[in-house]
Amino acid sequence: MDTNRFPQGFTWGTATAAYQIEGAASVDGRTPSIWDTYSHTPGRVRNGDTGDVATDHYHRWREDVAIMADLGVSAYRFSLSWPRVQPTGRGPAVQKGLDFYRALTDALLENGIEPVVTLYHWDLPQELEDAGGWPERVTSDRFADYAALAARALGDRVKTWTTLNEPWCSAFLGYGSGVHAPGRTDPVAALRAAHHLNLAHGKAVQALRAELPASARASITLNIHHVRALTESAEDVDAARRIDALANRMFTGPILEGRYPQDLLDDTAGLTDWSFLRNGDTDAIHQPLDFLGVNYYTPTLVSAATGEAGHHSDGHGMSDHSPWPGAGHIAFHRPAGSTTAMGWAVDPTGLYDLLVRLKADFPAMPLMITENGAAFDDYVDPEGEVRDLERIAYLHGHLSAVRRAIAAGVDVRGYFLWSLLDNFEWGYGYSKRFGAVFVDYPTGRRIPKASARWYADVTRTGSLPERRGETG
């Protein structure tokens, strides 16, 4: 067996999200999302950056589709901007918003690129946040209405749908530590938000199924944390269990198994009685899915020892408030080895172990790597090239891990490189570059990096090139 070759039909893709690339924030009827409000609040985002212009993909999308064709990808994962499609989060759709996504999907299909739509990548219409946001149950109903509207408008072109991207971030960074929009810091609101995001997912899957042909595929993308204990002590192992419950099983429990894990309910009982969890909710959340989207960047290393008091740095931004309700005492450690510009450890074994664990926990569920990639301090050299060799090494290592997991029997159907373009990296603004394509922000000019050429070779051959010193 060629250990570098991926299975026939493996999906090679790349991914983006609306607020990170589109710009055109107040064009054609779009209204503010929580990220517009948050980024315009002084002190929230590094350098005061906002998504007002971003990469201007809203106007340059034809060029971006041509770049994807050159990359040789067979799929493109992007999100719809909820406030562009349904301003204020209620009522009828805005035709111009839908026209934008129709034209984009048509161009993708003409180039043999399958559109993979994420309904929600963090840009809640501000009016829904003003009405209470994700901690309120009614937001899950608004989301289901929006899902139905999007399916009616795009279901003739889009066959693969993802409800939410990384609901952990929406709930725990948005309402717990406050390093993401809307910037609230209330652990109970964060738990309520997580439940209502789960409920929104379940209701949206039902809405999608009702609107779409039976051949359509529905999924969710989770940033499953690969949690490791610092030592084998009972205390550290229990710390890893608590973080695993909040990071992972809070979502996989109801979504894939139809129940919240008892240890999660016990761990958080001192904070809330969970009365927001109503009869029938877990049945509504537990909908059949066609695959599970997995985003992986780095493993999570924890211990029971009390971390530095007063702030929390677990790789998700700095805050005086913990994103881990009931587990704020747990310490996070940076694993040994090299790191990316985010300070995240480069460790493909975390991806391999995570995939093997998912296979053990959910044997029948096909997996899709919906994000993987790295930020480095890229620059254009005097020859006009961006020689991002560290990114190539990162991608090679992680794709090798995926290939090994497939050989070990894990059903991984595809891989989406994060990201197509350098873009607005949330609280870090434009200071972190994740793209295979460099964006010169003052001009909007796109410059494919060396990693783009490397990835095009992988997508065309379906195989990883040998690396010097490797035997395969």
Question: Which secondary structure element, helix H or strand E, spans residue 417, and what is its range?
Answer: strand 412-418
Mark whether 127 is an active-site residue: no
What type of residue sits at position 286? Answer: H
Distance in angstroms (rounded) separating the CA atoms of residues 323 and 330? 11
395: helix, strand or coil: helix
The answer to whether 80 and 118 have CB atoms below 8 angstroms apart is yes
Judged by CB under 6 A, which of 244, 371, 388, 411 binds ligand IFM? 371
Cβ-proximal residues to 427 (8 Å cutoff; 6+ apart), any chain:
44, 45, 46, 179, 180, 317
Amino acid at 323: P
Size of the site for ligand IFM (CB under 6 A): 8
State which of residues 126, 200, 425, 435 lies at the interface with ligand IFM (CB under 6 A). Answer: 425
- What does the per-residue mask of binding to ligand IFM show for 10-29, with x meaning CB under 6 A? -------x--x---------
Q: Which helix (H) or strand (E) segment is 146 a member of? A: helix 138-154
Q: Closest separation between CB of residue 110 and ligand IFM, Å?
A: 27
Q: Name the minimum Å distance from CB 227 to ligand IFM.
A: 17
285 vs 421 by CB, closer to ligand IFM: 421
Least Cβ distance, residue 288 to ligand IFM (angstroms): 25
From 22, 129, 166, 211, the catalytic residue: 166
* Shortest distance (Å) from residue 320 CB to ligand IFM: 21
> Cα separation of 453 and 248, whole Å?
34
For the bound state, the minimum distance from the C-beta of residue 6 to ligand IFM, rounded and expressed in Å, comes to 23
Q: Which of residues 177-206 bind ligand IFM (CB under 6 A)?
A: none
295 is a site residue for ligand IFM (CB under 6 A): yes
Decide: is 418 part of the binding site for ligand IFM (CB under 6 A). Answer: yes
Q: Which x/- pattern over 118-157 shows residues binding ligand IFM (rule: CB under 6 A)?
A: ----------------------------------------
Which of 371, 383, 390, 425 is catalytic? The answer is 371
The 3-class secondary structure across 222-285, one letter per residue, is ECCCCEEECCCCHHHHHHHHHHHHHHHHHHHHHHHHCCCCHHHHHHCCCCCCCCCCCCCHHHHH
Active site residue 257: no
Stretch (H or E) spanning 363? none
> What residues are labeled active site?
166, 371
Note the residues at the interface with ligand IFM (CB under 6 A): 17, 20, 166, 295, 371, 418, 425, 434
